[in-house]
A and B are shown apart, each in its own frame.
Chain A
Amino acid sequence: MYSLTKQLGEKKKPGGLKWRIFIQFIMAGLIIFLFLGGLYYYDVKKENVSAFLKQSQVVVDRYEKKLQAFYRDEMEILLSYYTLAGNDMPEAVVSLLEQNSHYLSSFLLDASGKVLYASDPLIIGYNYAGKDVFKKAFLSGEPFTLTRFHHTERRLAIDLVIPIYRESGSPSYVAVHQLNPAWLVEKLSEEYIDAEGEILMFNEDGIIFLDILNNHCFPSGEDSLTARLPSLKDYGFSLSHLQEWQGGPRSFQNNDYLVTYQKMEGDLGFIADRMSLSVIGEHFRNVISFMSLGALLGILLFGFLGIVVARRTMKPIYELSDQVVEALKGKRKFVETAPSSELSIFVQAFNRSWQDNLQVQQDLQRLTDEYEKVFNGTQDALFLLEVTDDGEFYFLRNNLALEKKTGILLKNNEKKTPRQLLGPDLGNQVEQNYRACVRKGEPLSYEETLSLPAGKRTWVTTLTPIFREDRVHFLVGSSQDITERKEVEESLRLSEERYRLLVDNATEAIGVIQDGVLKYANPMTVQLLGYSEEKLLSTSVLDFVHPEDRESVLQNLGKSLSGEGGSIRAYHRLITRSNEIKWAEISGVAVEWENRPAVLSFVNDITERKKNQEKLEYLSLHDALTGLYNRTFFDEEMNRLTNSREYPVTVISADLDGLKLINDTMGHVRGDELIKACALVLQKSLRSSDILARIGGDEFAALLPRCEHSTGELIARRIRYRANLHNAEFSGLPLSISVGLATAEEETISLKETYKKADDRMYRGKLSRRSIVRSHTVDILLNALNKRDFIGEGHGQRVSGFCLKLGEKLGISVAQLIDLALLAQVHDLGLVGVPDNIIFKRTPFTAEEWEIIKQHPEKGHRIAVSSPDLAEIAGLILAHHEWWDGSGYPQGLKGDEIPLLCRILAIADAFDVMTSDRPYRKAISEEEGREELKRCAGTQFDPALVKLFLQD
């Protein structure tokens, strides 16, 4: 009432209704114009859709005609070929057309359906009597086109089929030319016929073949055997559309597309024109702009109407409100208006209400008296504070209990501030709470201990803010004396704090479990499990335990509760909030919690300890390089399986061939790669239940429980098969694995003996093909030599040419010429062991690098000795860097001590190196090379051979 009177007194007139009327007019205008616009839009869209459908029917029809004409033309051309060739030479025509890119393939069938001639020679002789093309050709006797899907090869076939007659009656041959769909779609897409959207072709089964405007045919690409075909659904069709087709072009519309389709004559399938509705929408974008303008005009028109109506309606309301203000100020007893006015009812109501108001004021006085009695009769100290605009507090009123309990005498309505009444310190202290209450604007309860004239007392005070004009104007305070109760609570708090200090700072997770739920959890428990305390205390403890450990945890909880065996200690897995599994050492003891039995649990996180233990266990039983089991585990398993129920047990012994040679020459890194590849091949070949171990550097063994000898052989075969697969993929570092196996059929046979037998068999096999194994390894090295190509493109070939030329001039034997050619190819075999960063270095070698380089004749010699193919020239490889004057390496041979073939090679090799580009320098001319040979004759080279080499 206070604020209303004030508002009216300032003659503020209510304006909300005016604006509401105005806004409602605008909204009505908007709705009407949107409705009319929508109707117009719908009508225009309908017209556009109808226009598109008409246009697309024409397009579909024209495309079909185009296609029919296209096939007809192709067929006529083919027929003219056959006519020209005469019926006796159909093979010649098929052969002729092989070159034509129009056709994917062509073939000629005889009267029995056999393929007489075909562009793909593989199918000559095939029996196609059951194929549709053959059956239909004999049935109709006329040329025809057949569009079909080749199910087994998952590709489209557009067959142009021509029966050929030698004599009247049945055809003697049937020629089939399969049109290339890619060529067809390209051709058709060039024939643009004023079409929008997509032109699609599909057969009666709904297989989509061609998307003409997008120049695409299905299936396509290398993945045509595995990629899925587009479905009718992908293109917005349903199979029922095709099944319901009854003739002529048909159209339908779904959420996204407008589609027109029709069946083509013959067996050509369906053709369709599909257009996205969004594309059609582009055509009437102007309509949408026009509608938007209309809606805007509607808003303006109705907005103007709203203003006029609101002003006329509000005038009598403003006059009446002036009278009401006067009545409230006591200048009038009643308000008046014309009896016929629409506001007369409101005026009568106001007058009646005003009389009622006077009565209310009397009632209010009576209530105030009653309130005074209650105010002064209560035992709590009550007080009323005024809050001024500048934030000062003034005591306005207090009850008798306040005076009695505090010893402060305060005259009501004397208006003192707390500082004036209580002194500056205490006054500031109590004012802080008053300010907090004003700031919050909500009731505030707090405890305070104050030294007052009646003594030091503790109070619980509640302040209640009273608002006026959106600001706190008064605070009502109610204080209860709780001094005695606080003293008891304080002594309890100190006691609890001591215990809590111990538990909260414990490094163990401590909790109390009752009825399967945690009733208490210390901070360490929260930290360990990662859940909030609230979640921990409302969830079953078993939810934090690994499912496999839940049963044993339950048992241990039961034992702890019953007190059986005192404190129980066990190891279990816990699941944290982040789903991490943690190992924990858990002990529990029976206690009483809130007068009921419970378990006090202590949990230590031992995950790290457990991990270390598991890691140690793993390392003790596994091979670090391959991750397979090691010898120790293999032996343990062999003991475990001996005399077990797992018989028959097959044991496989496998050995990686040539590992030492690879390690010596290509380094241990490549050797390790080979071991890992071998392990992988073995692992993939074995069953999941088999036990595979690496029991030595290049030795592997496997135990195959419940495996008969025949199955073991199958697995050994699988190992060889997979090794071959690996070699096909990684030809640079191929695998060769020797495998032996033996089976212990009965429990009486020792597995150790069986393993020995398998190992013997493996070695026997290895010995019998030792030379193959070695050659195989040397092949790997030569392959690596070629791949690195560190000498230069064609170096080996050129050196070989120079050597043979010089050898022929010398008249050496054919056997020596063969050795010389081989030496020219492989003399640098030892370089495979030299790192790439030295081989390909662009600056001169350092002394250390030279030392490494100079080892290559000896390395090459070692490799060659182990290969039957190269053993003959091993000595030559060793000596190919010796100098005529004895300053070469590695043996320092001189003059005729150096084998003749090495002296020839030295000249040819040096000449080619000088006259070819190197990584670190450009080639010199042949003339300069010849001069250099002359200069070094007698020191590096045999002078007689140099002379012979330089003769034309």
Chain B
Amino acid sequence: MRDMVKFGKVSVCAALFTVAVLFLLFFPRFFSAAEDGRMILIVTKDQSDTTSQNPTRLQVAAELALEDFQKNRENSRKIVHKYITYMGYEKEGYLQAKAFLEKNPSVIALVGDFNSTGTEYTARLAAEHQIPHLSFFSTEEEIFRGKPWSFSYRPRIQHESAIILQILREHLGSQKVIIIASDQQVLFTRAEDFYAAGSKSGLEIVDYHIFPAEKYDYREEIDQLVTLEEQFDSFVLFLEVYQLEHFLQQISLAGLDKPTLTTGTVIHPDLLSEFEGVDHSLFAFVPRLYLRLDKENDLQSFEQRYMVETGFHRIDSLGPWIYDGFSTLYEIMDGADNREQVMEALTGYEKEHYIGFIGFDRDGLMNKNTFVPVRVRSGKFEEL
């Protein structure tokens, strides 16, 4: 009888033990010790149903960067990522992040957001809680001015205009240009900035066309441009990538054999084969990353893992760029224990990275141009 009772008890204990082991195996995160680590709070809008695929790409790149960083630092203090992903208005993200920050003093850096409105809210949060803030996306520079806790890792539009002018002057010897732009917001803004910068620097803007984003057929306008052939020496294009191929083919057909310079925001290594045959005088500027993708082992390894993790077929500039930015942040946090130290380290930071030379000016904006002038030839980028 005693054995039977004992058997019953042992059975119950065994069942409970099995449940406990399974719980530990499948839910280890309940037992992870985050409280002694330092936390990076990443505030992002959910845009996963658009081509931007954010925040998936950001999260994959950030997690790979953290994995690589912690691989050889088992004894150092842990760094933990906390993602706040929201939908709807940007203020929603701000309120969620604010509530989280009030309960979690271990957060020592903020990252976010994907658009200017969201970034403005994140910068506000950084100022209110005095936390260093790194932004990868917004080109709206006013957000960062007068906010010592906010830094932008985003290459600047004024750097883009500057490098276009540099290519025109130093490599093409061009003085008179025609600007062709799409009315898509991102491209239109850049075209306007270049127009102002070009006019100010004495460049002659012979003509300036703005086309709807869905326009492909430029033959009528090109016929007019042919009459101006003697009055300009190159094109500067701010067109969507699917417009670019048609434009190049059509000016080639019209016999307008002028050097063509396109903004680097649309061009990408995977797309170059589409332009082969009409790329004889195509120039652009690209992040230095693109020239390093085939050469750096770390980037190649990252590229493979990134594609596997995201499940998408092609590498893009965003993945390595985020990886690079987060690696910079960890490097700084390695020698800094609190928010003030991270902020001071970011303020004085200067180092060459995959993206280019990273350093910030007094407004927290990138102080050096990270673009490289290139020529597109036979489906490849050649540095000028």
Query: Are B196 and A711 within 8 A (Cβ)?
Result: yes
A338 interfacial contact with B, CB 8 Å: no
- A151 B274 Cβ-Cβ under 8 A: yes
User: B308 near A127 (CB under 8 angstroms)?
Assistant: no
Q: Which residues of A contact B310 (CB under 8 A)?
A: 231, 233
Given contacts A127-B249, A227-B49, A718-B192, are A28 and B276 in contact (CB under 8 A)?
Answer: no
> Closest CB-CB distance, A712 to chain B, in whole Å?
10
B273 touches A132 (CB 8 A): yes
0/1 per residue, A522-551, Cβ < 8 Å to B?
000000000000000000000000010000
| A-B contacts besides A151-B271, A233-B309, 11 pairs, CB < 8 Å | A27-B11, A122-B219, A122-B246, A126-B249, A152-B241, A226-B50, A228-B52, A239-B311, A688-B142, A710-B196, A710-B200
B217 within 8 Å of A (CB atoms): yes
Within 8 Å of chain B (Cβ to Cβ): is A931? Answer: no
Partner of B7, one of A28, A149, A710: A28
Per the bound structure, the CA–CA distance linking A20 and B379 in Å amounts to 80
Q: How far is the CA of A229 from the CA of B217 in the complex (A)?
A: 26
Q: Which residues of B contact A125 (CB under 8 A)?
A: 249, 253
Contact partner of A309 (CB less than 8 A), chosen from B1, B242, B378, is B1
Give Cα A593 to B90, complex, Å: 46
A21 touches B311 (CB 8 A): no
Instruction: Tell me whether A231 and B312 are in contact (CB under 8 A).
Output: yes
Residue among B1, B7, B253, B311 making CB contact with A238, cutoff 8 Å: B311
Q: Which of A96-125 contact B (CB under 8 A)?
A: 113, 122-123, 125
Q: Are B1 and A21 in contact (CB under 8 A)?
A: yes
User: Is the C-beta of B71 less than 8 angstroms from some C-beta in chain A?
Assistant: no
Contact B311 A232 (CB under 8 A): yes
A146 to B12, CA, bound (A): 63
B299 close to A (CB within 8 Å): no
Q: Which residues of B lie under 8 Å from residue A227 when comparing CB positions?
A: 49-51
From A21, A126, A225, give the contact of B253 (CB < 8 A). Answer: A126
Sample of 8 A–B contacts (CB below 8 Å)? A24-B11, A125-B253, A130-B278, A131-B273, A206-B307, A239-B308, A710-B196, A714-B192
For residues 481 through 537 of chain A, which have their beta carbon under 8 Å from a beta carbon of chain B?
none
Q: Tell me the minimal C-beta distance from A760 to chain B in angstroms.
A: 24
Inter-chain contact B15/A31, CB cutoff 8 Å: yes
Complex alpha-carbon distance, A233 and B48, angstroms: 13
Q: Is A196 part of the binding interface, using a Cβ–Cβ cutoff of 8 Å?
A: no
A126 to B309: give the CA distance in the assembly, Å: 38
**Which residues of the other chain, B, contact A225 by a CB distance below 8 angstroms?**
51, 242
Question: In this assembly, does A846 line the interface, its C-beta being within 8 Å of a C-beta of chain B?
Answer: no
On chain B, the residues within 8 Å of A123 by CB distance are: 249
The reply on A375 being an interface residue by CB < 8 A is no
Q: Which residues of A contact B238 (CB under 8 A)?
A: none
Q: Does A237 contact B (CB under 8 A)?
A: yes
Return the contact of A239 from the options B52, B246, B249, B307 (Cβ within 8 A).
B307
When the two chains form their complex, are residues A240 and B308 in contact, meaning their CB atoms are under 8 A apart?
yes
B-facing residues in A288-328 (Cβ within 8 Å): 309, 312-313
A152 to B199, CA, bound (A): 31
Interface positions, chain B 232-262, Cβ under 8 Å from A, are 241-242, 244-246, 249, 252-253
Interface of B is mostly: helix
Max count, chain A CB within 10 A of own CB: residue among B217, B252, B311, B379: B311
**Interface residues, chain B, with chain A CB atoms under 8 Å away:** 1, 4-5, 7-9, 11-12, 14-15, 48-53, 128, 142, 183, 192, 195-196, 199-200, 210, 216-217, 219, 241-242, 244-246, 249, 252-253, 270-271, 273-279, 307-314, 378-379
List CB contacts (< 8 Å) of A223-262 with chain B.
Answer: 225-229, 231-234, 237-240
Q: Give A498 Cβ to nearest chain B Cβ, in Å.
A: 41
A-B contact count (CB 8 A): 132
List the B side residues contacting A226 at CB < 8 Å: 50-51
Task: Tell whether, in the assembled complex, residue B53 and residue A228 are in contact, meaning their CB atoms are under 8 Å apart.
Answer: yes
**Are A25 and B8 CB-contacts (below 8 A) given A129-B277, A710-B200?**
yes
Task: Decide: A28 near B199, CB < 8 A? Known: A132-B273, A714-B192.
Answer: no
A346 to chain B, nearest CB (A): 13
Q: Is the CB of B245 within 8 A of A129?
A: no
Residue A577 at the chain B interface, CB threshold 8 Å: no
Q: Which residues of B contact A688 (CB under 8 A)?
A: 142
Q: Residue on A with the closest CB to B183? A: A725
Judge whether B246 and A128 touch: CB under 8 Å.
Answer: no
Question: In the docked arrangement, what's the CA distance between A122 and B274, Å?
Answer: 17
Interface residues of A in 204-235 (CB under 8 A from B): 205-207, 225-229, 231-234
Specify which chain B residues have a CB less than 8 angstroms from the CB of A127 in the assembled complex: 249, 252, 277-278
Top 4 A-B pairs, shortest CB-CB distance: A130-B276, A24-B8, A233-B311, A231-B311
In the assembled complex, which residues on chain B have CB atoms less than 8 Å from the CB atom of A912?
none
* Structural contact, B4 and A25, CB atoms closer than 8 A: yes
Q: Are B271 and A206 in contact (CB under 8 A)?
A: no
Collect the chain A residues with CB atoms within 8 Å of residue B195's CB: 714
Q: Return B89 CB to nearest CB of chain A, in Å.
A: 16
Cα A226 to Cα B47 in complex, Å, equals 11
Q: Does A850 contact B (CB under 8 A)?
A: no
- Could you tell me if B275 and A130 are in contact, using CB atoms closer than 8 angstroms? yes
- Residues in B with CB closer than 8 Å to A130 are 273-279, 378-379
Q: Is the CB of A152 within 8 A of B277?
A: no
Chain A hits for B53, CB < 8 A: 228, 231
Q: Is the CB of A228 within 8 A of B5?
A: no
Q: How far apart are the CA atoms of A863 and B270 in the complex, in Å?
A: 61
- Assess whether A228 is in contact with B192, with CB atoms less than 8 Å apart: no
Task: State the CA gap A113–B310 with chains docked (Å).
Answer: 37
Check: A153 CB closer than 8 A to any chain B CB.
Answer: yes
With a cutoff of 8 Å between Cβ atoms, the chain A residues found around residue B314 in the complex are 205
| One of B49, B200, B219 near A708 (C-beta < 8 A) | B200
- Give Cα A233–Cα B270 distance, bound, in whole angstroms: 21
Question: Cβ of A313 and Cβ of B242 under 8 Å apart?
Answer: no
* Nearest B-chain residue to A224, judged by Cβ: B51
Q: Are B313 and A207 in contact (CB under 8 A)?
A: yes
Q: How far is the CA of A187 from the CA of B49 in the complex (A)?
A: 29
B11 near A122 with CB under 8 A, answer: no
A128 to B246, CA, bound (A): 12
Given contacts A129-B277, A227-B50, contact A710 B5 (CB under 8 A): no
For A615, the chain B residues whose CB sits under 8 A away are none
A126-B253, A206-B313, A225-B242 given; A152·B49 CB < 8 A: no
- Judge whether A42 is part of the interface by a CB distance below 8 angstroms: no
Chain A positions within 8 Å of B200 at CB level? 708, 710-711
Given A31-B15, A309-B4, the answer on whether A228 and B311 have CB atoms closer than 8 Å is no
Which of A128, A132, A152, A232 is within 8 Å of B244, CB to CB?
A152
**Which residue from A25, A206, A312 sits with its C-beta under 8 Å from B311?**
A206
B8, B128, B216, B271: the one contacting A122 at CB < 8 Å is B216
A918 on the B face (CB < 8 A): no
B277 touches which of A21, A28, A131 (Cβ 8 Å): A131
Q: How far is the CA of A233 from the CA of B311 in the complex (A)?
A: 5
How many Å lie between the Cα of A126 and that of B192 in the bound state? 30
* Contact, CB under 8 Å: A154 / B192: no
Q: Which residues of the partner chain A approach B210 to less than 8 Å between Cβ atoms?
A: 721
Q: CA A128 – CA B253 in complex, angstroms?
A: 12
Cα A377 to Cα B118 in complex, Å, equals: 78
Q: Contact at B277–A237, with CB atoms within 8 Å?
A: no
- Which residues of chain A are within 8 angstroms of B241 by Cβ–Cβ distance? 151-152
Would A128 and B51 be within 8 Å (CB), given that A21-B8, A239-B307, A309-B1 are in contact? no
Give A238 to B304 CA distance when docked, in angstroms. 11
Q: Which of A203, A226, A231, A238 is most buried by chain B, counting CB atoms within 10 A of its CB? A: A231
Q: How far is the CB of A289 from chain B (nearest CB, A)?
A: 23
B114 CB, nearest partner CB in chain A, Å: 14
* Complex CA distance for A675 and B175, rounded to whole angstroms: 42
| Bound-state Cα–Cα, A127 to B195, Å | 31
- Given contacts A130-B379, A151-B274, A24 and B307 within 8 Å (CB-CB): no
Chain A residues within 8 Å of B192, by CB: 714, 718
Q: Is the CB–CB distance between A113 and B311 below 8 Å?
A: no
Q: Which residues of chain A are near B271, meaning CB under 8 Å?
A: 151-152
**B11–A31 touching, CB < 8 Å:** yes
A206 x B379 contact (CB < 8 A):
no
